[in-house]
Structure 1
Amino acid sequence: MSDATINEGANSRPAFLPPVSADRLPLAVVAAALVAGFVALTVLVDLRQAALFLVGGLLGATLFHASFGFTGGWRRLVVERRGRGVRAQMFMIGVAAIAMIPLIAAGNLGGQALVGATAPVGVSVLVGAAIFGLGMQLGGGCGSGTLFTVGGGSSRMLVTLIFFILGALIGTAHLPWWLGQPSLPAIALGDVFGTGVAIAVTLAGLAAVAAVTVLIERRSHGALEQEPAPRREGWTWLLRGPWPLAGAGLLLALLNVATLLIAGHPWSVTFGFGLWGAKLAQAAGVPVSSWEFWTWPGPQQALTHSVLADTVSVLNFGVILGAAAAACLAGKFAPKVVVPLMSFAAAAIGGILMGYGARLSFGCNIGALFSGIASGSVHGWLWFAAAFAGSYIGVWARPLFGLDGLKRS
């Protein structure tokens, strides 16, 4: 996403206001949707869901203004040998882990039960994460990246999201079989080593990844890439961007902790996609309620209730609208209707692979990697390794669809 240009010589409007051609009508619509969503959730569900909706909005605005996605950061490391994006991701996870591991160990706070993003460590995670990594390079975004770019007006990413939902639904049909493959139980570092050691081990692992990116970058370029300075004086960059990756990572970490405290679980994305797909399939007459996955207590409850009662879905809605609001305020909301055929095909294939892979591996870059590692779960590290390997293959598969190996589609 490029910065909006400002004609400083001819424009007499104050610098902190959007240009005359700002996206006023879309902004009014998005603002109304945010207000209506908050009120509806407060009345129809409760204030907790409404608060999660606002947290999702802040997540979306942060992701948009920093263009904070895992897909581009991983691609830059592979192709350009630049690791600034990956280091920001490690920093973000580390900050969240310092707060989340002790909270999860406590089990509750103020009467709110707190559980981590833990999952079995096995073939399902290994295969699913690799599939997801491949898909995110073809689709052009990760789980969170798909949401915030859709909010920013990307028609191509809307294609990715639609097929992401389809892939997630298919994954719910197949997950019971995958869970029958070789696996270890969920392993939480806090349970094995205690809170202090779990934090230390997690931070050491994240620091090791960051150190590897430093070695790669210095070997290729001689020096590390510096964080770009804001291009506007004063505080106007808060509305127009870009936000520094490190600052955005810090804010995303704090918002994930807020999600844990409000929802009782860390930030997650892709369960909502599977639920949306199941709801649509059910409306079309598909008996998804008889599928084994949707007979399990958690999924069954989600399927029989409104999506407004699902914490993951509410967060997703907030992310989309928050990103849309940020795009409109920045004058960058610019939907493109035409999607070239090969780009459409890559988005569709990538979306299906991400949805399917995320369901097999208990989450995406957010639910499995970010929240998983920050919870002290070993499956998060396996997910990271497998997804990066799949992403590496995906980077070099992009030209087959006419996609550049570097530019975000």
Structure 2
Amino acid sequence: MSETNIGTSSGTQRARKQRKPKKSQIPYAILLTALIIAFGFYLGRGNNQLPVYWGFGIAFGYILQRSRFCFTAAFRDPCITGSTSVTRAVLVAVALSSVGFWAIKYASVLKEAETNLNMAGVSPIGLPLALGAVLFGIGMVIAGGCASGTLMRVGEGFLMQMLVLVFFIAGSAWGAHDMGFWGKFNENAPKIYLPDVFGWFGAILVQGIIIVLLYIAAAKWQEKKMGTME
């Protein structure tokens, strides 16, 4: 073994010896958990539903942080790294939410709360949608995160994402203020409501097939680009 390798090895060993052990974060975790529970009881004094919302928000944020779930990564990673793990996770989430929303909407139809022709909750496919999608896509790539990713990183203390959140709110307020103006472009824009086209069971079947095909395509894309599946 050469003297250079010996010197490098001994230097690495000294660096490891000098490195301070990490402090345990368990006491901080216990304290934070106690504060979360205490604040939940405080919220319950005013409204019984607020602790439920509080608990759901905490759980949702924890899942986002641990899974690194981000819609930006779902569209960005396949193009940059070839990885589609987040893309496939988004497709699974969309599939599960589709079944849930389908069940809720169909139950409303059975109770005659609405009909198949009720298009009040269906957004038109017009110029505002296309323009907003392009602007939001550009913005989230520059910012490095979508809405969920930005909120997650704000909780982690990233200053850049805090600035992004400020402009996110400002842009949303601006868009809400000008909603009437943009609504003029949607007067003749088409609306697509799958239950009206395929029926209720046909709609969930068609959407399921589309999601499965996209999932398979995402998996094949990763195998082609990376040669492996995560």
> Is the TM value for this pair above 0.5?
yes
Count of residue pairs the alignment pairs up: 205
Q: Answer 1 or 2: which has greater helix percent.
A: 2
The alignment's TM-score, normalised by the length of structure 2, stands at 0.76
Query: Are the counterparts in 2 of residues 90 and 210 from structure 1 also a CA contact under 8 Å?
Result: yes
Corresponding residue of 2:200: 195
Aligned-residue offset at 1:20 = 3.4
Q: Which has the higher contact order (CA 8 A, sep 6+)?
A: 1
TM superposition shift of 1:99: 2.5
**Would the alpha carbon gap of residues 193 and 36 (structure 1) be closer, same or farther in structure 2, given more than 3 Å must change?**
same
In the TM superposition, what whole-angstrom CA distance separates every residue of 1:361-383 from its partner, at most 9, and x where no partner exists? xxxxxxxxxxxxxxxxxxxxxxx
Q: Aligned-pair distance for 1:94?
A: 0.6
- Aligned pairs for 1:355-370 within 5 A: none
- Which structure 2 residues correspond to residues 151-230 of structure 1 after superposition, within 5 A? 151-182=155-186, 183-184=188-189, 186-224=191-229, 226=230
Give the conservation status (yes or no) of the 8 Å contact 2:40–2:55.
no
Tell me the CA shift for residue 38 of structure 1: 5.3
One-letter amino acid matched to 1:102: A
Write the mapping of 1:192-341 to structure 2, written as runs, cut at 5 A: 192-224=197-229, 226=230
Contact 2:91 2:211 in 1 (8 A): yes
- In 2: Cα distance, 1:27 partner to 1:154 partner: 23
Residue identity in the other structure for 1:144 = S
Amino acid at match of 2:31: A
TM-score, normalised to structure 1, is 0.45
1:222 partner letter: G
Q: SS of 1:184's equivalent?
A: coil
Counterpart amino acid of residue 39 in structure 1: Y
Superimposed CA distance per residue, residues 10-67 of structure 1 (whole angstroms, 9 cap, x where no aligned partner): 98xxxxxxx6331745863574255325532x333x3234312211211111111111
User: Cα deviation per residue 1:345-364 (whole Å; 9 max; x = unaligned)?
Assistant: xxxxxxxxxxxxxxxxxxxx
Change (3 A) 1:221 1:36: closer
CA contact (8 A) 1:38 1:54 kept: no
Change beyond 3 A, Cα 1:82–1:25: closer
1:43 aligns with 2:17: no
CA distance in 2 between partners of 1:26 and 1:140 (Å): 28
Q: Given the superposition, is the C-alpha separation of residues 33 and 223 from structure 1 closer, same or farther in structure 2, using an over 3 Å criterion?
A: closer
User: Residue 64 of structure 1 contacts residue 148 of structure 1 at CA under 8 Å; is this kept in 2?
Assistant: yes
- Measured in 2, the distance between the counterparts of 1:119 and 1:49 equals 30
- Report the counterpart of residue 144 of structure 2 in structure 1: 140
Q: Is the 8 A contact 1:94 1:203 kept in 2?
A: yes
- Please name the residue that 2:58 is paired with: 57
**How far has the Cα of 1:145 moved from its partner?**
1.0
Matched with 1:102 is 103
Post-superposition CA distance 1:106-152 (Å, at most 9, x none): 12999x99x99642221111111111111111111111111111112
Tell me how far apart the structure 2 counterparts of residues 91 and 117 of structure 1 sit (CA, whole Å). 23
User: Are 2:22 and 1:22 equivalent residues in the alignment?
Assistant: no
- For residues 32 and 228 of structure 2, the distance between their equivalents in structure 1, rounded to whole angstroms, comes to 45
Change (3 A) 1:28 1:188: farther
Matched letter for residue 97 of structure 1: S
Would you say the 8 A contact 1:71–1:142 is kept in 2?
yes
- From the superposition, tell whether residues 151 and 30 of structure 1 become closer, same or farther in structure 2 (CA, over 3 Å): farther
